[in-house]
């Protein structure tokens, strides 16, 4: 679509203020923020409207909608647009747009909405950020969406996992009026909007700009790649890392930004700019690469570097990659003309120790010695405190990573026991706590099932919903203790696999996580029946009893399985200590 006709259609379709900025850089930029008078009016009117507190993902999406990073979108997708995007990577009007941008809400909120109504969108503190003028409310087919967008329904894919497990059941489509931008307090001078970046490029006299997208710390290979790309494209360089949401388990953005700032110092003067992108990635591989290109065009870039497995989630648990390593490059190639931004494709960069330089793997003659350090290998080096070679990364970057990733024996960890009532969890947890205290040097928090229910979760029952809340509370406390270098030993039944996974995710962000399955069979627990609960459960006096009238999902991901028929509590605790020493969490 031409700039002028897009601008006309934007203004014609809008009953309220939508400004559009045309710049020599990038295409037409949508700006959904209204002026002060209208913002005040919206806030006043909103007293009678339903409200929705935006999730972390939705906050990221809203910010890019408001500032025009998602131009030409003017709101969250209607059912028609979503169907077209899923099927053809296009909006219903034919504009190329590969990624669903939807607002998911719960049933209670959906019930209060209909076409023509307004929804106040608020940040987690309740500050109103925007109005959504509702066009439709619909229930999406999330499996079909997963299949079409990500090419799989496997929840091992983080984008699918988010869609299937963390997305509310209703979507609300409609246009947006922005009242205020989401507030950030970190690295504020580095968070340039598309309009600000356009201005910056103009000030610097940059006409050709190649963007580098990343969600990882940057090392020498990345610097070499970006320098080569800038040279090839005869362009200046924008290092444009994602600081919204990335793949679970990634290095946190605070650490990464300090790493990027250290690296920026090593670029030739006047060549590179660093700006932070508040994007929530979906890890959608080729489709996501196309999306990244559209976003970078909005941020006034003329080129985008696309390397190996761009925005891909890697492989599933069987080692099968979700996308081919160069699928993203192929898809972008096919759409270059329509995109209006060029791709600079790159192969994997490898180090040539004999020549002390980096080169793309396809330019390395057969038989040449090469070296590289994978993300997993780097994590291992950080965990063990092993030296990180200077050919791999700049010392200042390594130093930043060490500050937030101390070796494992200085990190906190959580041991989560799971097993049926009466399986022996509490007894082993108590022995483990005592042994850990005997070793000394760390604080230990014991979160036993019964104790937690007495104090932290005293108002909860045993419905699925309540059990989930209970386990997430335990996970929250354990994650806090772990993050601060302590040890949490938890012993609830934790019967559901997905809630255990949530605890694993919460804890792993700040330290180690060990799941221990106390696998005492139901018959044995029932025979022991130390508290007389099984008898009551069989008589129906206690409802929803795990193993009798409520399910127990056996873990398939436990680090350790304890058989209480063949080992005593002391032996079980010793085995766990042995595991913790072997994994580097404790020194022997
Ligand atoms: S859960 O599912 O993880 O939230 O359960 P948890 O917090 O560990 O609580 C389990 C203890 O509560 C007692 N109890 C029950 N267990 C299972 N199902 C039902 N309906 C139930 N009602 C009471 C029981 O004593 C459990 O203690 P343990 O130590 O596991 O035997």
Digitized pLDDT (tens) for each residue of the chain, 588 residues in all: 332 332 233 223 333 333 343 334 556 899 999 999 999 999 999 999 999 999 999 999 999 999 999 999 999 999 999 999 999 999 999 999 999 999 999 999 999 999 999 999 999 999 999 999 999 999 999 999 999 999 999 999 999 999 999 999 999 999 999 999 999 999 999 999 999 999 999 999 999 999 999 999 999 999 999 999 999 999 999 999 999 999 988 899 999 999 999 999 999 999 999 999 999 999 999 999 999 999 999 999 999 999 999 999 999 999 999 999 999 999 999 999 899 999 999 988 999 999 999 999 989 999 999 999 988 899 889 988 899 999 999 999 999 999 988 889 999 999 999 999 999 999 999 999 999 999 998 999 999 988 899 999 999 999 999 999 999 999 999 999 999 999 999 999 999 999 999 999 999 988 999 999 999 999 999 999 989 999 999 999 999 999 999 999 999 999 999 999 999 999 999 999 999 999 999 987
Would you say 22 and 3 are in contact if contact means Cβ atoms under 8 Å apart? yes
CB of 184 shorter than 6 A to ligand 1:
no
The CB of 246 under 6 Å from ligand 1? The reply is no
Quick one: pLDDT at residue 92? 97
Closest CA to 308 of 221, 210, 401, 209: 221
Nearest CA to ligand 1 atom 5: 493
8: Cα within 13 Å, side-chain hemisphere: 5
Q: How far is the CA of 155 from the centre of ligand 1 (A)?
A: 29
List the residue whose alpha carbon is closest to atom 15 of ligand 1: 545
- Residue 544 CA: nearest ligand 1 atom is 20
Q: Give the distance (Å) from ligand 1 centre to CA of residue 421.
A: 6
| This prediction's pTM | 0.80
* Preceding peptide of 471 cis, ω within 30°: no
H/E stretch holding 447 reads strand 444-448
Alpha helices in 284-415 (DSSP H): 285-298, 327-339, 375-384, 395-404
Catalytic residue numbers read 214-216
- Which element (helix H / strand E) includes 414? strand 413-418
Give the strand pairing for 342-345 and 303-306.
Answer: parallel
Ligand 1 touching residue 422 (CB < 6 A): yes
Taking each helix axis from N to C terminus, what angle separates 375-384 and 395-404, rounded to the nearest 10 degrees?
Answer: 70
Residue 433 alpha carbon to ligand 1 centre in Å: 20
Domains of the chain, start order: 36-178 (3.10.400.10), 198-277+283-405 (3.40.50.620), 408-582 (3.40.50.300)
CA–centroid distance, 450 to ligand 1, in Å, is 7
Q: Is ligand 1 within 6 A of the CB of residue 552? A: no
Tokens of 530: 């130390």
- Whether 161 and 504 have beta carbons less than 8 Å apart is answered as no
Q: Which pLDDT score is estimated for 449? A: 86
CB of 419 within 6 A of ligand 1: the answer is no
Compute the distance from residue 156 Cα to the ligand 1 centre, in Å: 30
- Best residue for ligand 1 mutational test, from 455, 462, 538, 555 (most atoms within 8 Å of Cβ): 462
Q: How many CB atoms lie within 10 A of CB 441?
A: 10
Helical H segments across 35-126, by residue range: 36-45, 56-67, 79-88, 107-111
Phi-psi region of 411 (alpha: psi -120 to 50; beta: other; left: phi over 0): beta
User: Which of 533, 545, 547 most suits a substitution to test ligand 1, by most atoms within 8 Å of the C-beta?
Assistant: 533
Angle, helices 142-150/285-298, rounded to nearest 10 degrees: 80
116 Cα to the center of ligand 1, angstroms:
48
Residue ID of nearest Cα to ligand 1 atom 27: 421
What are the residues whose beta carbons fall under 8 Å from the beta carbon of 144, sequence distance 6 or more?
A: 86
């Amino acid at each position: 679509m031409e700039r002028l006709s897009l601008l006309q259609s934007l203004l014609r379709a809008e009953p309220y203020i939508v400004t559009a900025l045309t710049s020599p850089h990038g295409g037409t930029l949508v700006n959904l923020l209204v002026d002060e008078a209208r913002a005040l009016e919206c806030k006043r009117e909103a007293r009678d409207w339903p409200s929705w507190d935006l999730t972390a993902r939705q906050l990221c999406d809203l910010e890019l909608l408001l500032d025009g990073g998602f131009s030409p979108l003017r709101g969250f997708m209607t059912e028609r647009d979503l169907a077209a995007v899923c099927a053809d990577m296009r909006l219903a009007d034919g504009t190329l747009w590969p990624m669903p941008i939807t607002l998911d809400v719960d049933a209670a909120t959906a019930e209060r909405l209909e076409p023509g109504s307004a929804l106040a969108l608020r940040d987690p503190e309740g500050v109103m950020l925007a109005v959504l003028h509702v066009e439709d409310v619909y229930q999406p087919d999330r499996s079909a969406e997963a299949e079409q967008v990500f090419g799989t329904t496997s929840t091992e894919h983080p984008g699918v996992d988010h869609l299937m497990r963390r997305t509310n059941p209703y979507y609300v489509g409609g246009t947006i009026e922005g009242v205020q931008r989401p507030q950030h307090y970190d690295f504020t001078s580095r968070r340039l909007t598309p309009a600000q970046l356009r201005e910056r490029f103009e000030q610097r006299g940059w006409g050709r700009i190649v963007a580098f997208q990343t969600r990882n710390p940057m090392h020498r290979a990345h610097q070499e790649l970006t320098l080569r790309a800038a040279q090839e494209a005869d362009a200046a360089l924008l290092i444009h890392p994602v600081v919204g949401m990335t793949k679970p388990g990634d290095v946190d953005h605070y650490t990464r930004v300090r790493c990027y700032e250290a690296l920026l110092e090593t670029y030739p003067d006047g060549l590179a700019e660093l700006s932070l992108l508040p994007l929530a990635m979906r890890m959608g591989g080729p489709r996501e690469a196309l999306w990244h290109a559209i976003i970078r065009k909005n941020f006034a870039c003329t080129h985008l570097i696309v390397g190996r497995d761009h925005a891909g989630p890697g492989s599933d648990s069987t080692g099968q990659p979700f996308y081919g390593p160069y699928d993203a490059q192929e898809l972008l190639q096919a759409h270059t003309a329509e995109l209006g931004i060029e791709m600079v494709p790159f192969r994997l960069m490898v180090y040539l120790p004999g020549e002390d330089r980096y080169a793309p793997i396809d330019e390395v003659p057969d038989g040449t010695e090469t070296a590289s350090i994978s993300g997993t290998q780097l994590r291992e080096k950080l965990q063990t405190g092993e030296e990180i070679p200077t050919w791999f990364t700049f010392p200042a970057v390594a130093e930043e990573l060490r500050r937030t990733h101390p070796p494992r024996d200085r990190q906190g960890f959580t041991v989560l026991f799971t097993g049926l009532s009466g399986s022996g969890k509490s007894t082993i947890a108590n022995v483990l706590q005592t042994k850990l205290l005997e070793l000394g040097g760390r604080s230990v928090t014991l979160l036993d099932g019964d104790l937690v229910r007495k104090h932290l979760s005293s108002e909860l029952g045993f419905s699925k919903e309540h059990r989930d809340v209970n386990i997430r509370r335990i996970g929250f406390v354990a994650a806090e203790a772990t993050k601060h270098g302590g040890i949490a030993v938890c012993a609830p039944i934790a019967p559901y696999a997905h809630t255990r996974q949530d605890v694993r995710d919460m804890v792993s962000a700040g330290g180690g996580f060990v799941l221990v399955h106390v696998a005492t069979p139901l018959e044995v627990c029932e025979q022991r029946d130390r508290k007389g609960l099984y008898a009551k459960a069989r008589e129906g006096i206690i409802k929803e009893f795990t193993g009798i009238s409520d399910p127990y999902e056996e873990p398939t991901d436990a680090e350790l399985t304890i058989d209480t028929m063949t080992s005593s509590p002391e032996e079980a605790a010793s085995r766990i200590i042995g595991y913790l020493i072997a994994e580097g969490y404790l020194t022997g």
